[in-house]
Amino acid sequence: PAKSPVTVVGLGPMGATMAAAFLAAGHPITVWNRTAAKAAPLAAKGAALAATPADALAAAELVVISQTHYQAMYDSLGGSEAALKGRTLVNLSSGSPTELRAAADWAAGHGAVLLTGGIMVPPPGIGTPGAYVHYSGPRDALDRHRATLEVLGRADHQGDDPGLAMLFYQAELYLFWSTLAAYMHAVALVGSAGVPASRLLPYAAGNTAALAGDGPMGFLKILTAEIEAGAYPGGENSLLMQKTGAEHLVHAAADAGIDTRGPAALRDLFQRAVDAGHGADGLSSVIEAVRNP
Ligand code: NDP
């Protein structure tokens, strides 16, 4: 069957790769970018180049947007609001949940539907196995365009609240960055005694894999159950003991002459939970200090 047309607005590294993926999958593609010259490689592959944002909106019911921020969408389409009527906008740019909710209202005000999305791969990952996108907004709009959007990666609908896509996206990025930043502190700690990172690697790999597992170190699942139950049993691993351990970590980092602020932030977080009365509880009680800054 004929593939449905798609308009792609924004041809940075992400948008250009998305447009190429749609083209490779057989979709007729129209592109628009503030800097028109970036469309040349796509035009050579068969994409139509819209002269104006209004022409881009007229070319397809499905409009995929990938730009630096949400302001770029207003800067690009803001003068062509009449052409928004009946369109499904899919914005895969980064922004705050508040910006996403405001954008959904803006689209609705002009007769369009907005699906927000957070795409969890860099440009080379687009359309590869394992790629996925957190979507939020009206589920029926996603279901209507699912086959097309899954050219980019699996489409996971997280809910109708348009802010959810970025909450999931930011949550995953925080996990990614903080885990890897902790690895860099760990590498620097052993490195202060001349140990190369490669000697720590197998322990780091085992440690992080165990966290996601089912064993006694499977703390992702353990914490999830405790947090959802709202019960934080300390047992033989009290938070007070772990706060003391975090203090030792700060001292070790200082002795090693490396950055102490990451470890100190961890210790301070634990300290606040202890101060709030969770010393005899378990690690999961730290969620209270995170939720109540
Ligand atoms: P950029 O953030 O560099 O986006 C560049 C695009 O935004 C270009 O098309 C640029 O137009 C356009 N743009 C920026 N400001 C404006 C404006 N005021 N008006 C009109 N157009 C504007 O590149 P990426 O492609 O890397 O990222 C796109 C989005 O995807 C970002 O929100 C990013 O957070 C997100 N993302 C990126 C990932 C990555 O690995 N790169 C991974 C996952 C998500 P012009 O060419 O004219 O400058």
11 Cα–ligand 1 center, Å: 7
Residues 246 and 268: beta-carbon distance below 8 Å: no
First to last CA, the chain: 55
R_g of the chain, CA atoms, integer Å:
24
Q: Which atom of ligand 1 is nearest to the CA of 122?
A: 40
Question: Which H or E element spans position 245?
Answer: helix 239-256
Q: What is the pLDDT of residue 178?
A: 97
Q: Read off the pTM.
A: 0.94
3 state DSSP class of 103: helix
Q: How far apart are CA 196 and CA 214, in angstroms?
A: 30
Strands 88-91, 132-136: pairing is unpaired
Q: What is the Cβ-side half-sphere exposure of residue 137, based on CA atoms within 13 angstroms?
A: 32
How confident is the model at residue 17, as a pLDDT? 98
User: Looking at 129-235, which runs of residues are DSSP E strands?
Assistant: 132-136, 154-157
* Amino acid present at 201: L
Pocket test for ligand 1, best of 38, 68, 69, 166 (most atoms within 8 A of CB): 68
**pLDDT for position 254:** 98
Query: How confident is the model at residue 291, as a pLDDT?
Result: 97
Question: Tell me, what's the ipTM?
Answer: 0.99
- For domain 168-291, give the CATH number: 1.10.1040.10
Averaged over successive runs of 10 residues, the pLDDT of the chain (293 residues) comes to: 94 98 98 97 97 98 98 97 98 97 98 98 97 98 98 98 98 97 98 98 97 95 97 92 98 98 97 98 98 95
**Domain ranges (residues) in the chain:** 6-160, 168-291
The reported pLDDT for the residue numbered 236 is: 86
235 near 284, Cβ under 8 Å? Answer: no
**What is the topology classification, in CATH, of domain 6-160?**
Rossmann fold (3.40.50)
CA neighbor of 220 nearest in space, from 233, 206, 210: 210
CA distance 226 to 4: 46
Query: Sign of dihedral through CA atoms 115, 121, 123, 124?
Result: negative
Distance (Å, rounded) from C-alpha 270 to C-alpha 247?
A: 10
Residue nearest to atom 15 of ligand 1 (CA): 72
pLDDT tens readout for residues 100-147: 999 999 999 999 999 999 999 999 999 999 999 999 999 999 999 999
Ligand 1 atom having least distance to the Cα of 120: 43
Nearest CA to ligand 1 atom 40: 122
Task: Please tell me the distance between residue 226's alpha carbon and the centre of ligand 1 in angstroms.
Answer: 39
**Length of the chain (residues):** 293
The ligand 1 site (C-beta within 6 Å) comprises 10-15, 33-35, 38, 66-68, 71-72, 75-76, 93-94, 119, 122-123
From 8, 9, 11, 14, mutation site for ligand 1 pocket: most ligand atoms within 8 A of C-beta: 14
How confident is the model at residue 112, as a pLDDT? 98
- 218: burial class by Cβ within 10 Å (0-12, 13-18, 19+)? middle
| C-beta separation of 285 from 232 below 8 A | yes
pLDDT at 235: 85
